[in-house]
Amino acid sequence: MEILDQPGWLWGLSLIVLTMAIHATAVVMLAFVGMRIRVRLETRGLKVWNLIPIVICVVGVTGLLLAVLHGMECVIWAAAYLWLGALDSRTPCSFRSTR
C-alpha cells in the first residue's frame, strides 16, 4: 500500500470522486426534468407528429447541457493539475502548435 501513501493518489482519487458526484447530480437532475416534461406533454394529448420536434429539442438541449458539464469538469481537472504543478502553463497541450 505504499502507492496510496503518496499525495498524488489522494488528489487523484478525490478528483475522481468529485467528478462522479457532479456527474450523478447532473444526470439525476436531467432525469427529473425529463420526467416533468414527459408528464406535461402526456397531459396535453398531442399527436405523435407534434411530439417529434419537441423530443428532438429536449434531446439536443440535454446533449448541450452534458457538453457544458464535461467542460466544467475539464476546468476542474486542469485547475488541479496547475495547482499541483503537473502543467507548466494554462495553455492546454492540445492547443499548442506542433511546429
Q: Please indicate, yes or no, if residue 84 is contained in any of the structural domains.
A: yes
Look at the alpha carbons of 78, 76, 66, 13 in this order and tell me if their dihedral is positive or negative: positive
pLDDT for 79 equals: 81
The boundaries of the domain holding residue 36 are 9-89
Dump pLDDT digits (tens) for 30-44: 999 989 988 988 888
Is 48 within a domain?
yes
Assess if residue 22 is contained within a domain.
yes
- pLDDT at residue number 56: 92
What contacts 4, CB < 8 A, 6 or more positions away? 10
Q: 70-90, pLDDT tens digit by residue?
A: 888 888 888 877 777 777 766
Residue 1 within any structural domain of the chain? no
Asked whether residue 65 is assigned to any structural domain, the reply reads yes
